[in-house]
């Protein structure tokens, strides 16, 4: 039995916010959740103009930090409650978008705190519009939100059908102000979603077809990234790959690259997409043992000769990780990944040794 479920309506293209202004007429009091870059990339200006057009009252919280914490979410929820928001608009990278999802649920559930999101069954949320300004997470089309919890020294995701945004409005023009290194990092997050999703146990012909297209598109633009030769068309393609990656993992979830990478983000401050990128080739080496045809397909569609070729490409685009992690610590990181629910998404068992081998990529 196959199924495909994407309740988020997606609007994709230049000036998508402005052109689809009628979408914003879903409430009377909008609470906007974003981070400082929205003041520079034009996204907030676009949203302000459509809200004014509908005479919708709004309040703004613009200080979401990368890798948002449960504490920060609780603080912002209080502000949104005081404002009596009846819908939420998330603008930015995965950090503000994931925050907006958490806030939307907490506003609909009296007396819940952010930590409850990981324990309680979510049955409702305020309507949510998500507008991405990076090209990586695909959070605008996923039922996931990932928050940092210092008590467990890690990032954790919660999932619910109710946090699929009502609308995802994707305009690649917001990527124009994104520093090149963040374009690279976030595009590797998207690529990681596509690859992990394709190799996942829940991959279907539906998600495969998105993966095939995403990998082919990536192949056609990979030299532009190497040469820093970006234009509107390339930014549009990067946004598309990111949305495809989100649609894929909404169905398949991610595999072990993500939970291994959370260690690099939490303990070594490495951005999420870059952390995935460091681990990707060694992960594919492991997968090659179990799923050689699928891995060959990925490498071929990406236009690389072999995994080594992909590895060299990644290394050319990223600064060296330059971190030395002791064996005990590597084992600790691997043990957290093996305890995560993501291992169940693999099509095979994985050993501690294999996870440590993947983690060793960063040496």
Q: Which of 146, 217, 221, 277 binds ligand NAP (CB under 6 A)?
A: 146
| Residue 100 interacts with ligand NAP (CB under 6 A): yes or no | no
Residue 186 interface partner, choices Fe ion, ligand NAP, none, CB cut-off 5-8 Å depending on type: ligand NAP
Do the beta carbons of residue 119 and residue 157 sit within 8 Å? no
95 contacts which partner out of ligand NAP, Fe ion, none, CB within 5 to 8 A by kind?
Answer: ligand NAP
Binding status of residue 145 toward ligand NAP by CB under 6 A: yes
Q: Which two tokens stand for residue 356?
A: 């440590």
- CA 59 to each of CA 34, 47, 174, 286: distance values in angstroms, whole numbers, following the listed order: 11, 12, 21, 48
Decide: is 125 part of the binding site for ligand NAP (CB under 6 A). no
State the pairing for strand pair 154-159/144-149.
antiparallel
94 binds, among ligand NAP, Fe ion, none (CB under 5 to 8 A by kind): ligand NAP
> Is residue 122 a contact residue for ligand NAP (CB under 6 A)?
no
- Binding site partner of 80, from ligand NAP, Fe ion, none, Cβ cut-off 5-8 A by kind: none
The answer to whether 165 and 140 have CB atoms below 8 angstroms apart is yes
- 72 contacts ligand NAP (rule: CB under 6 A): no
144 lines the binding site for ligand NAP (CB under 6 A): yes
User: What's the rounded Cα separation, in Å, for the pair 109 and 120?
Assistant: 11
Binding site for Fe ion (CB under 5 A): 189
Taking the complex as a whole, how short is the minimal distance between the CB of residue 274 and ligand NAP, in angstroms? 9
Q: Which is nearer to Fe ion, 43 or 95 (CB)?
A: 95
User: 235 or 248: whose CB is closer to Fe ion?
Assistant: 248
Q: Quick one: 27 or 273, whose CB is closer to ligand NAP? A: 273
Q: Per-residue b/e over 94-119, b at no fewer than 16 CB within 10 Å? A: bbbbbbbbbbbbbbbbeebebbebee
Mapped onto helix, strand or coil, the DSSP state of residue 185 is helix
d(CA 136, CA 138): 6
The site partner of 134 among ligand NAP, Fe ion, none (C-beta below 5 to 8 Å per kind) is ligand NAP
**Contact partner, 41, from ligand NAP, Fe ion, none, Cβ < 5-8 Å per class:** ligand NAP
What are all long-range contacts of 315-320, with beta carbons under 8 Å and residues at least 24 apart?
Answer: 316/226, 317/184, 317/188, 317/225, 317/226, 317/277, 318/184, 318/185, 318/188, 318/274, 318/277, 318/278
Beta carbon of residue 300, minimum distance to ligand NAP (angstroms, whole number):
26
The residue range among 47-55, 132-140, 232-240, 289-297 that interacts with ligand NAP, by the rule CB under 6 A, is 132-140
Q: How far apart are alpha carbons 224 and 7 in whole angstroms?
A: 33
Dihedral sign (CA 199, 200, 203, 207): negative
Neighbouring CB atoms inside 10 A of 144's CB total 21
Straight-line distance from the first to the last Cα atom of the chain, in angstroms, rounded to the nearest whole number? 43
Among 24, 174, 313, 333, binds ligand NAP (CB under 6 A): 174
Residues 258-317 that bind ligand NAP (CB under 6 A): 272-273
Q: Contact residues for ligand NAP (CB under 6 A)?
A: 35-37, 41, 66-67, 92-96, 98, 133-134, 136-139, 142, 144-146, 155, 174-175, 177-178, 182, 186, 189, 272-273
């Amino acid at each position: 039995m196959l199924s495909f479920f994407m309740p988020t309506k997606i609007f994709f293209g230049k000036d998508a916010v402005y052109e689809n202004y009628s979408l914003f007429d879903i409430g009377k009091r909008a609470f906007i959740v974003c981070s400082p870059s929205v003041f520079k990339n034009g996204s907030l200006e676009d949203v302000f103009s459509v809200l004014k057009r509908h005479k919708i009252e709004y309040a703004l919280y613009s200080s979401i930090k990368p890798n948002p914490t449960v504490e920060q979410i609780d603080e912002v929820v209080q502000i949104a409650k005081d404002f009596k928001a009846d819908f939420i608009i998330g603008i930015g990278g995965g950090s503000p978008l994931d925050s907006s999802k958490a806030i939307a649920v907490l506003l609909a559930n009296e007396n819940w705190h952010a930590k409850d999101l990981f324990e309680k069954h979510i049955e409702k949320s305020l309507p949510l519009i998500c507008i991405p300004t990076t090209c990586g997470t695909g959070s605008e089309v996923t039922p996931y939100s990932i928050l940092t919890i210092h008590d467990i020294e890690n990032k954790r995701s919660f999932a619910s059908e109710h946090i699929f945004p009502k609308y995802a409005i994707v305009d690649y023009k917001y990527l124009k102000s994104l520093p090149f290194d963040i374009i690279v990092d976030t595009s590797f997050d998207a690529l990681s979603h596509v690859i992990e999703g394709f190799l996942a146990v829940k991959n279907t012909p539906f998600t495969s077809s998105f993966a095939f297209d995403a990998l082919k598109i990536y192949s056609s633009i990979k030299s532009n990234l190497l040469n820093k030769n970006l234009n509107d068309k390339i930014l549009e393609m990067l946004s598309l790959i990111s949305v495809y990656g989100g649609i894929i993992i909404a169905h398949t979830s991610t595999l072990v690259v993500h939970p291994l990478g959370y260690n690099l983000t939490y303990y070594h401050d490495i951005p999420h997409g870059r952390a995935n990128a460091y681990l990707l080739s060694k992960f594919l080496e492991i997968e090659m043992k179990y799923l050689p045809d699928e891995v060959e397909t990925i490498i071929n569609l990406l236009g690389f000769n072999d995994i080594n070729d992909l590895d060299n490409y990644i290394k050319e685009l990223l600064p060296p990780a330059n971190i030395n992690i002791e064996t005990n610590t590597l084992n600790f990181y691997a043990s957290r990944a093996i305890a995560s629910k993501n291992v169940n998404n693999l099509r095979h068992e994985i050993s501690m040794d294999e996870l440590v081998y993947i983690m060793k990529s960063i040496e």
